[in-house]
Every structure is written in structure tokens, then in C-alpha cells.
Amino acid sequence: MLIDSHVNLHAPQFAQDRQAVIDRAREAGVALMVNISDKVSTFEATYAVAADNPDIWATVGTHPHEAKENPDLKAKDLIQLAERPRVVGIGETGLDFHYDLSPRDVQAAVFRQHVIAARETGLPLVVHTREADAVMGDILEEEYAAGPFRLLMHCYTSGADLARRAATLGAWFSVSGIATFKAAQDVRDVIADMPEGRIILETDCPYLAPVPMRGRRNEPAYLPHVLVKLAEIRGWTLAEAEQRTEDAFFALFSRIPRP
């Protein structure tokens, strides 16, 4: 079973042909998708895609770029929305010090509220991190010491040291089309060392289309290209890569019934 653990089907890039995109994903063998919330203010649009499709689920959260929109966001607000039956994760949340579209202290404060929500609901935390390795590692370790929670380092492109720190906390990792990029050997090196039972797939569509689709709007239908690259990096057959990523996905997103 092919599973796209991170799609943004509510994004405006899909406004004109969303159903056709979903149909193409199914035709390509993608059996499940998780539509990711990027800000609480647009959660209803994110959730509607899941509510209308039995093979699509949703998360609730605010991306670090958008943390400034609701700097006083509280875990209880996320927990309440997470009671919806098709919500299966908390996030996308985290730290992004590359663009700094929200103040760093606000990003950190909002991120910690998401951690609390993940801890209290038992739902996995979908973590975005860019150019914030040391701070991210410190926050994850501090919060984990306060009480365990499940976490996914989504579209992981950060360093090997943070990957090791997160893996020590039992993190899962998702591999995206970046793994196919010619200049991304450092990313492939980290993927080669990820815990084999905790790797899943994603497209992060409409962004990060894999080779040979690079430069186009990304779609879940392109996920097989990511699977091929992951199998190559890890030395797995395609069947092994598909089975391993499926098993890892359901171990993480345990609210989703396994067919």
C-alpha cells in the first residue's frame, strides 16, 4: 500500500482541479493520504477535504511560518479540534529559522503548545524544522523529559546530529521528493541511517515535486518516484520499501484503521 503522509490538498494551487488530483493519486496506487493543517484559522478547509473522502485524513496545527497569526494559541484549542473523528495528528508545527516569517520566540512558544496537545491526545506530532537544529533538539528533549509523545520529523532535511537526537526519542521520519534532487546527497546520507522501522513517505504537495517531475506542481500521484529513490538509498526492493513504509505509517498514525 502506498501512503502519502503529508499533502496540502486544501492549498489554493488545487482549487481548480482538486478532485482530479485526488483521482490521479488513486489511479497511481496511493491508498491513503493525510491532509496537513498549516494554520488553525484555515482548519475547516483542511478538514473538509478529509471529511469528503474516506481515504483522506487530517491534522490540526499551525506551521511555524504562521505562528505569528495566533501567538497565544493554547494546547486546549488544538485538543478540542483534535476530537474530530478524522483528525489523526497534531501539526504541522515546529521551527523555521531560514525564513523567520514569525519571530523565533513565538515559533518556540506555539510549538511547545503543540507538543502538549500531542502528549495529551496521544496523537503524533508532525514536526517541521529548518536551520534550527540545536534549538529543535533542545526543545524536543526538554518536552520529552516532561512526558513522552510520538513525533514525526516530516520531510527531513536537517543534519545528522538532530536526526540522532530525534531517533533517540523514538521519532519517525518522512522522506520526500527532495531525496531525488541531484544536489541533495547530504539528505540521502541521513536517510541511509534512519531507523528502518520508522521511515514513511510523503510528497508535501504542491511543493517539492520529485525528479523527473521537478519544476511542476507536485501531486500525490508522484509518490511512486519517492518510493523508488528510498528503495535505492536503503538497498530495499520496491516491495520491501512499500511494506516497510506502510507498517511504519500505521504504527505512527494509530488512529487510522488499517485495511
State how far the Cα of 255 lies from the Cα of 74, in Å rounded to an integer: 23
Write the CB contacts of 58 (distance below 8 Å, at least 6 apart in sequence). 34, 35, 36, 37, 46, 47, 49, 50, 84, 86, 87, 88
The pLDDT tens digits of the residues spanning 115-172 come to 999 999 999 999 999 999 999 999 999 999 999 999 999 999 999 999 999 999 999 9
Write the CB contacts of 118 (distance below 8 Å, at least 6 apart in sequence). 90, 91, 124, 125, 149, 150, 151
* Helix-helix angle 185-192:160-168, to 10 degrees: 30
Q: Is the pTM of this model over 0.95?
A: yes
State how far the Cα of 173 lies from the Cα of 180, in Å rounded to an integer: 16
Which among 45, 82, 28, 39 has a CA at the least distance from the CA of 224? 28
The pLDDT tens digits of the residues spanning 168-206 come to 999 999 999 999 999 999 999 999 999 999 999 999 999
Do 199 and 230 touch, CB atoms closer than 8 A? yes
Across residues 2-29, what is the average pLDDT?
98
The CATH number of 2-252, from 3.30.420.40, 3.30.2350.10, 3.20.20.140, 3.30.70.100, is: 3.20.20.140
Across residues 3-19, what is the average pLDDT?
98
Which among 223, 105, 96, 201 has a CA at the least distance from the CA of 154? 201
State how far the Cα of 168 lies from the Cα of 141, in Å rounded to an integer: 9
- Alpha-carbon torsion, ordered 245, 159, 114, 195, to 10 deg: 30
* Gyration radius of the chain's alpha carbons: 17
- pLDDT for res 259: 87
Residue ranges of domains in the chain: 2-252
